Structure 1
Amino acid sequence: MRLFNILALLPLLSLLTASPLCAQVTLGSSGAEGEPFRRQEWRVPSPDTDIAAHALLFRPPGAGPFRLAVIAHASTQNVLRRAQMPQPEYRALAAFLVARGFAVLVPERLGHGATGGRYVEDQGGCDEADYARSARATADEISRALEFLRNQDFIRKDAAVVIGHSAGGWGALALAGADPNVISAIVAFAPGRGGHANDEANRICAPQTLLAAAAEFGKPARIPVTWLVAANDSYFAPAFSRRLADAFRGGGKVDFRTLPAIGSEGHWMIELETGVKAARGELDRALDQTKSARSYKP
């Protein structure tokens, strides 16, 4: 009889484990003040139908529906570094957003860490870099994750925010022409690609190509962009970042801000609690300008 019961359960177990997009939930709490107290492991769609991307979701208390914030992580052209990349968390930034009522998704993109798969964001060699194509590939992965979460009953359908870091921020800029009723704001921390060319500080591969791509993304832009860079960023220094923002501003609305120097390398400021504190005013401004712009009807 016991064997019969086990065999009867096998079809049910196969159904429960078949979908790669099911949420694998680990509820936990941390004693550190200000940290999100609900942290969940999810799987979200990727451009490869055989691979569901790893993701972390941080949720406020209650049932929602919550506004959604998607954080798009940095990247690298180095294959080994990508493979060894730990699951991005941006924990201090997630805590900041959860405290303001957002559900926060941090998806890991193809070709990185535990998700693995083919790296679809490859920009190519330094001299012939295709920054527009790589940004659109990043934007496509962000969009897939965002749309998947928008279909959850605890997420609002409107007023999502996309926050991108470095290559993730570059991909976020390629979303500036999306529906502003779906994405109400974009915050880009040191967006760009090709920085630290040949591992040299303050050297960028094909900077004119990067500027041209920024102008291309700005033309159809309908979503306001907050563009932030630390004073000691050696990947995309403030002077060059301003040129990029100005190129984008030809068609798009940009609030460009240089933040104080953070740590030994400002490019990674958003991964640090001190960096989030330094950006708090600009983040609040970006979030508040869209909070009352639309009324939500569940």
Structure 2
Amino acid sequence: MAPQPCTAEAVRWFLARGFAVLLPLRRGYGPDGGDGGGWAEGYGGCASPDYVAGGRQTARDIAAAVALGRSLPGIRPEGVLVVGQSAGGWGGLALAADPPEGVVAVVNMAGGRGGWAGGQPNRVCAPDRLAADAGRFGRTARLPTLWIYTANDTFFGPDLAQAMHQAFTAAGGSAQFAALPAFGADGHSLFFGRGGSAVWGPVVEPFLAERGYRPR
């Protein structure tokens, strides 16, 4: 895999609002399998997955990227917003449960793990476990989070997304939920999809305003 370029629509949306954007490539996702021991986000077998363990490894890489970004010249080290999509969104929830210094909010775009089980759309490995593990993150998560899912996400459909959100908030997590209409052929691609920012942008903008972010 490769990070999105600086010209990508999602990146430009944040740049236009005064953010510096860092696009980390986590361990194991690079063309050579990545450095640092290869892919670290495994969650075990489909029958009995440990989604918490996989999410914590994702969060570990996000935290390392945040620490690096905060140390760069010209970067304001406070008020960091973490935006994660798919496995990155799940890692963002894990990060909210154990946030590093500087991070103040998380946007979870279609987050989860175990989707497309067996190579089949709309099949998830142990979906009840995924919801329960969202609750485990919610027990200690105190950062505000925004969850964005679409009606035609073939990885994590509306019912499962709602179940994860309910478990997270019931355990004490702070989470706004946005159930958006179908987007393209598969709503899982909303965040980086062409025209996607016109759909998620009006949801993200007020969330940012509530956190004190203002367009420059």
Q: What's the TM-score once normalised by structure 1's chain length?
A: 0.67
Aligned-partner Cα distance in 2 for 1:265–1:106: 23
Structure 2 gap ranges (5+):
none
Whether 2:102 is the aligned partner of 1:200: answer no
Match of 1:220 among 140, 163, 173: 140
Aligned-partner Cα distance in 2 for 1:86–1:224: 29
Q: Aligned-residue CA RMSD in angstroms?
A: 1.8
1:179 is displaced (CA, Å) by 4.8
1:177 is displaced (CA, Å) by 2.9
Structure 1 SS opposite 2:137: helix
Match of 1:105 among 22, 28, 34: 22
Question: Residue type of the partner of 1:247?
Answer: A
Partner of 2:73: 153
Question: Residue type of the partner of 1:108?
Answer: L
1:217 and 1:248 in contact (8 A); partners too: yes
Partner of 1:261: 182
Aligned-partner Cα distance in 2 for 1:115–1:105: 21
Larger mean CA deviation between 176-185 and 266-275 belongs to 176-185
2:63 and 2:100 in contact (8 A); partners too: no
1:258 is displaced (CA, Å) by 1.0
Whether 2:63 is the aligned partner of 1:143: answer yes
Residue-by-residue CA offset, 1:90-140 (whole Å, 9 max, x unaligned): 811110000000000111111112362311001121112110000000000
Bigger relative contact order, structure 1 or 2 (CA pairs below 8 A, ≥6 apart)? 2
Structure 1 SS opposite 2:191: helix
Structure 1 gap ranges (5+):
1-84, 294-298
Aligned-partner Cα distance in 1 for 2:51–2:86: 13
Residue 89 and residue 168 in structure 1: after superposition, are their counterparts in 2 closer, same or farther (change >3 A)?
farther
Percent of paired sites with the same residue: 39
1:184 is displaced (CA, Å) by 1.5
Partner of 2:193: 272
Question: Residue type of the partner of 1:237?
Answer: G
1:109 and 1:115 in contact (8 A); partners too: no
Question: Residue type of the partner of 1:130?
Answer: D
Between the two proteins, the alignment pairs up a number of residues equal to: 209
Structure 2 SS opposite 1:203: coil
Residue-by-residue CA offset, 1:127-169 (whole Å, 9 max, x unaligned): 1211000000000000001001101231112110000101000
Runs of 4+ deviating beyond 2 Å: 85-90, 113-117, 177-181
Q: What's the TM-score once normalised by structure 2's chain length?
A: 0.91
Larger mean CA deviation between 262-271 and 136-145 belongs to 262-271
Partner of 1:283: 204
Whether 2:111 is the aligned partner of 1:191: answer yes
Larger mean CA deviation between 239-248 and 122-131 belongs to 122-131
Larger mean CA deviation between 283-292 and 254-263 belongs to 283-292
Question: Residue type of the partner of 1:225?
Answer: T
Residue 206 and residue 276 in structure 1: after superposition, are their counterparts in 2 closer, same or farther (change >3 A)?
same
Partner of 1:86: 2
Residue-by-residue CA offset, 1:48-78 (whole Å, 9 max, x unaligned): xxxxxxxxxxxxxxxxxxxxxxxxxxxxxxx
Larger Rg: 1
Partner of 2:150: 230
Residue 164 and residue 115 in structure 1: after superposition, are their counterparts in 2 closer, same or farther (change >3 A)?
farther
Aligned-partner Cα distance in 2 for 1:86–1:139: 19
